[in-house]
Amino acid sequence: MESGLAAITRQRTGGVSRGYADLSATFLALAVRLVRPGGRVALVQPQSLLTAKDAAAVRAEVLRTGVLSSLWVSNEHVFPDASVYTCAPTIHVGGPRRGPLVRSATGQFVPLRSITIDNDALMIEETWAHLVAAASGVPEVTIRTGRVIGDVADATADFRDQYYGLEGFVVEDAELTPAQRADPAAFPPIVTTGLIDLAECRWGMTPTRLHKRRWDAPRVDRARIEAEGSLGGWLSARLVPKLLLATQTRIIEIVVDSTGSLVPSVPVITIIPHDPSRLWHLAAAIASPVCTAIARQRYAGAALHADAIKLSAKQVLKLPLPEPSRRWDAAAGHLRSASGAADPEPRLESLHRMAGASIGAYGVPDEEAARLMEWWGQR
């Protein structure tokens, strides 16, 4: 049975306020209902209103009869008694469905560039995070493509069953014989998100933690897990050519497993192209500064750190994919060179070339491209 407060808010909002939506979002929805056409509502809200899944129904509800006409957001604590970052949307009831959005940021109300929004389209967006990304210095980019990653690939994020199912079947590389070590099919390396850098897998170079202990170079005993465990089929499905994407990172960090010899550990995201010959092209698209900026715009607030990126498998598939071009070919080639580089300097040079070529592949205008490249490079 619902608590008294939950039942009241659900009843008063027609079921719009639900789950873990902040109570302040309920007041926003109720206020918009009470205002007659032509009126405006502006309430200070926690920033979770803009991104939280449980606030999605409220975001959609206020746009059924109103439009978002202005938005203030602060990534600093403006109110002494508030421990959360805040924002203040202004809803114009009965306003034009397509029109300008006036934006500002910080306690000094620094103006941001106004943009034109379609409130009918905004009503079905997952979040409003992209509207305030500029407040965090995220560049807004214009791209020329209607395609998405999901058109050419599948993505999967494994769960606790796969994480704990490996326990007891992990062995340290140093404990194997030279013959066993030379057979990655029998003892495939396990890659955690902390071992993934952009175009570099640091397995065997950097220690990692798995199942509450430290490992220098963990591997899976495949024969044992197939005979005694429950993940033999899962393991075979993962040991194919793929991309491995880290989470909780400042830019999108991805490595290419062209031989299909690496085992992803939760929460690494596995991306498998429909055409394995396009593995490097797919990696260059996802690793592009374009996708990092768009991921930061769309899904800000999902990570543990406010400035980090945390994507779900479904969100990866919604990232844009460039149209075939020589620039995309060049980006794929530069990423491949970076992955094969033995020293940091040539690796970094190849990554910057990849970034520039991939930005061009997405058709980003020159003036936006320069800002995007600088922002990505600093991260």
173 and 129 in one domain?
A: no
8 A C-beta contact, residue 255 and residue 268: no
> What is the C-alpha separation between 297 and 251, in angstroms, rounded?
12
Q: Is residue 96 part of a domain?
A: yes
**DSSP conformation letters of 164-212:** HHTTTSEEEGGGS-HHHHT-TTTSPBEE-GGGEETTEE-TTTS-EEETT
Tally of CB atoms within 10 A around 312? 15
154 and 41 in one domain?
A: no
- How large is the average pLDDT for residues 351-373? 97
User: Last residue of some domain: 115, 136, 157?
Assistant: 136
Give the 3-state DSSP-derived string for 4-19, with helices as H, strands as E and coil as C. HHHHHHHHHCCCCCCC
| Domain membership of residue 131 as a residue range | 4-136
151 and 59 in one domain?
A: no
Q: Is residue 40 part of a domain?
A: yes
336 and 189 in one domain?
A: yes
Q: Which residues of 28-56 are buried (b: 16+ CB within 10 A; e: fewer)?
A: bbbbbbebeeeeebbbbbbbbbbbbeebb
> What is the C-alpha separation between 168 and 225, in angstroms, rounded?
9
| CATH number assigned to the domain comprising residue 93 | 3.40.50.150
> Using one digit for the tens of pLDDT, what is the confidence trace for 174-228?
999 999 999 999 999 999 999 999 999 999 999 999 999 999 999 999 999 999 9
Q: What are phi and psi of 153, to 5 degrees?
A: -155, 165
361 and 245 in one domain?
A: yes
User: Last residue of some domain: 136, 165, 180?
Assistant: 136
User: Last residue of some domain: 77, 104, 136?
Assistant: 136
174 and 121 in one domain?
A: no
- How large is the average pLDDT for residues 340-348? 95
Q: Is the pLDDT of residue 100 over 60?
A: yes
% of the chain surpassing 90 pLDDT: 75
99 and 47 in one domain?
A: yes
152 and 58 in one domain?
A: no
166 and 107 in one domain?
A: no
The amino acid that residue 225 corresponds to is I
Q: Is residue 116 part of a domain?
A: yes
Domains in the chain: how many in total?
2
169 and 67 in one domain?
A: no
Q: Is residue 142 part of a domain?
A: no
**DSSP conformation letters of 49-67:** HHH-GGGHHHHHHHHHHEE
- Which of 90-94, 225-229, 298-302 is predicted with the least confidence, judged by mean pLDDT? 298-302
- How large is the average pLDDT for residues 297-304? 63
**DSSP conformation letters of 333-347:** HHHHHHHH-SSHHHH
> What is the C-alpha separation between 356 and 330, in angstroms, rounded?
10
Peptide bond into 267 cis (omega under 30): yes
Using 50, 70 and 90 to split pLDDT, how confident is the model at 81? confident
Q: Is the pLDDT of residue 2 over 50?
A: no
Using 50, 70 and 90 to split pLDDT, how confident is the model at 77? confident
237 and 117 in one domain?
A: no
> Using one digit for the tens of pLDDT, what is the confidence trace for 260-289?
999 999 999 999 999 999 999 999 999 999
DSSP 8-state assignment for residue 36 = P
Q: Is residue 274 part of a domain?
A: yes
| Locus of tokens 């599948």 | 154
Using 50, 70 and 90 to split pLDDT, how confident is the model at 304? very low
Q: Is residue 231 part of a domain?
A: yes
> Using one digit for the tens of pLDDT, what is the confidence trace for 39-71?
999 999 998 898 888 899 999 999 999 999 999
191 and 303 in one domain?
A: yes
- Which of 16-20, 140-144, 162-166, 365-369 is predicted with the least confidence, judged by mean pLDDT? 16-20
> What is the C-alpha separation between 119 and 67, in angstroms, rounded?
6
> What is the C-alpha separation between 362 and 193, in angstroms, rounded?
27
Q: Is residue 81 part of a domain?
A: yes
> What is the C-alpha separation between 196 and 253, in angstroms, rounded?
7
Stated pTM of the model: 0.80
Strand 66-74 relative to strand 45-46, pairing: unpaired
Q: Is residue 141 part of a domain?
A: no
> What is the C-alpha separation between 4 and 10, in angstroms, rounded?
10
- The pLDDT assigned to 51 comes to 83
- How large is the average pLDDT for residues 232-244? 97
